[in-house]
Chains A and B, each alone.
Chain A
Amino acid sequence: MTGAQGFLIVLEGIDRSGRSTHAGLLEAHLRHHGRGVTRTSLGSSVLSADALRRAKRGRRPDPVEIALLSAADLAERVERVVDPALRAGLVVVADRWTGTPIARAELRGVDRNWLDRLFSFAPSPDLVALLDLDPEASLARRGEPDPYEAGLDLHLADDLRESYRLFGARLAGWFEAESRRRGWLRVPASGPVDRVEARLEAAADRIVGLIGSGRGRARTKAP
């Protein structure tokens, strides 16, 4: 897509790192300053969300099938929500984009080049903020983790929470390496909510032009 006027801001990070909370706060902040905002999140499509949930809960989850369903989920949201919003000049705040599905599949042995190609239809974000949280801290935030998100199918540990710790550490390492490679903004997410919020708002303000001139540009497709 070329000539897009809107902005795509993505929040990535491991489970329970506060993405959806901060997506909501960022939306409120941008709206308060007169920006039109649309939000979207992984697994919220009409056509693929149920199939994606079923595939993750299967006896032997297939990471290739799940990557394809994640791509279908994202494609639907890109075509139905994100692209029209960007063309209309809105800010799109996305709770996870290509990073999470690629990380989950690559950590299960799926070829990275194939994954990058699979998701190559997705518009490249103007800003990716990684909410950096230790898996141990994320585990303390809520109850039982989801078995697939805990990597239970990888047989790292029999205990769900221990598996989550081990798989979460791998995910955190993947996100750290990816954020360095791609120049993502890393925001420590273990601190108070208002401190995280302030950092995200400052970064978003620079991108959308509430501070300085903004970074409007012709958008390209990239992972």
Chain B
Amino acid sequence: MLIIRFVPTRPIRPPGLLVAVEGIDGAGTTAVASLLARWIERRGRRVHVVAWEASAPVRRAAADGRTRQSLTARVAALLVAAEAHRRTDDLVRRPIGAGDVVIADRYAWTGVARDLARGLEPGWIASLYERLPAPAVVVLVRERPGRAIGRTIDGRLPPGQAEAVAPAFGAFLDRVALALDDLAAGRSPGPWPARTVVLDPDGRLEVGLAPARDAIAAALDGGEGRAA
């Protein structure tokens, strides 16, 4: 006699996926992350947009006169990398493990580029982040530092103060932008190899997003997601 049994199975879950949207302050990474998130949701996937800002401990230290002097470039790099690792489980590994898509509104490249701009050794900096989950796609939102700086400090600082800090901040943003370009072009070592899409600062955003969507679609369809 033939007995047919129905064996309960777990529903097939698509692999999770991490997308990193990188760029200098004021480049518009938040807008790009939001547009990509809506597009991915329309494809039926649950998306978490994570505002990846791991420099809070450094900002606190810089604001305190007692700790500011101890905050060298190397110490800052290590504190930011440690904070990034601390937050990874909750913000990245867990949702990816549940089969969701995580869009990081800035991720490891931003930390690496800032440290490169401060003159630390490229290989050493990249290694600080190589234990983080690797994104399937990195979208670099390029922007001219001169334009980005306006969005970053205008309205946040009192009149007079913005003009005072703009030159130094602008010079730093220039270096960070160059460092991001070097990472995208493979001229500086990144923490991991990543499929990279660069959005041009002068192009129309909707047009520029097409290659980013293609890369993400390929990653989603090809199962290139990274389980935690």
Contacts and interface: CB of A to CB of B under 8 A. Distances in A.
Interface string B115-137: 00000000110011011000000
Given A71-B78, A75-B74, A62 B85 contact: yes
* Chain A CB within 10 Å, residue with most, of B82, B127, B130: B82
Q: How large is the interface on B (under 10, 10 to 19, 20 to 34, 35 or more residues)?
A: 20 to 34
Contacts of A68: 78, 81-82, 85, 128
B75 A47 contact: yes
Interface in A42-83: 45-48, 51, 55, 60, 62, 64-65, 68-69, 71-72, 75-76, 79-80
Contacts, number: 64
Nearest to B132: A64
A47 B79 contact: yes
Contacts of B146: none
Contacts of A114: 127, 130-131
A203 interface: no
Contacts of B82: 51, 55, 65, 68-69, 72
Given A68-B128, A118-B127, A76 B70 contact: yes
Contacts of A60: 89
A55 B81 CA distance: 14
Nearest to B127: A117
* Chain A CB within 10 Å, residue with most, of B57, B67, B75: B75
Contacts of B124: 117, 120-121
Contact of A55 (B61, B74, B86): B86
> Secondary structure at chain B's binding surface: helix, strand, loop or mixed?
helix
B79 A72 contact: yes
B72 A72 contact: no
A48 B127 contact: no
A46 B66 contact: yes
B181 to A, nearest CB: 25
Given A69-B82, A76-B70, A62 B89 contact: yes
Given A65-B86, A75-B75, A45 B127 contact: no
Contacts of A62: 85-86, 89
B171 interface: no
25 contacts: A46-B67, A47-B70, A47-B79, A51-B79, A60-B89, A62-B86, A62-B89, A64-B85, A65-B86, A68-B78, A68-B81, A68-B82, A68-B85, A68-B128, A69-B82, A72-B75, A72-B78, A75-B78, A76-B70, A79-B74, A80-B69, A80-B70, A114-B127, A120-B124, A121-B74
